[in-house]
Chains A and B, each alone.
Chain A
Amino acid sequence: MRLARLALDAALDVDGVLAADAGPRGLVVTRDGTALLRGVLVAAEAGRRYSVDLGLRVRLVPLPALAEAVRARVARNARLGGVGDLLGAVTVTVQDVVDDDELAAAGLVAMPAPVSPEVA
Chain B
Amino acid sequence: MVVLRLLVRLVSFLLLIVLALIGLGVAVAAVDPAGVTGWIGLPALRDSVGGWFDDLEASGPVALASALGGGAAMLLGLVLLAGLLIPRRERLVRLDTTSHGTLSARRRPLAQVATHLVEQTRGVAQARVKVKPRRRSGGRLRVRAERPRPAPASETKAAITSQLEDLTGPFKLKASVQTRVGDRGSRVQ
- Distance (Å) between the CB of B65 and the closest chain A CB? 43
Instruction: Point out the residues of chain A lying under 8 angstroms from B122, CB to CB.
Output: none
* A interface, CB within 8 angstroms of B: 23-25, 51-52, 58, 60, 62-64, 67, 71, 89-97, 99
Instruction: Point out the residues of chain B lying under 8 angstroms from A24, CB to CB.
Output: 90, 106
* Interface SS of chain A: strand
Taking CB as reference atom, which chain A residue is nearest B88? A25
A-B contact list, 27 entries, CB within 8 Å: A25-B89, A51-B101, A58-B109, A60-B113, A60-B116, A62-B166, A64-B103, A67-B96, A67-B101, A89-B101, A90-B100, A90-B101, A91-B101, A91-B103, A92-B102, A93-B92, A93-B104, A94-B103, A94-B104, A94-B105, A94-B106, A94-B109, A95-B106, A96-B108, A97-B110, A97-B113, A99-B112
User: Judging by beta carbons under 8 Å apart, are A63 and B102 in contact?
Assistant: no
User: Judging by beta carbons under 8 Å apart, are B103 and A63 in contact?
Assistant: yes
Taking CB as reference atom, which chain B residue is nearest A89? B101
* B interface, CB within 8 angstroms of A: 89-90, 92, 95-96, 99-106, 108-110, 112-113, 116, 166, 170-171
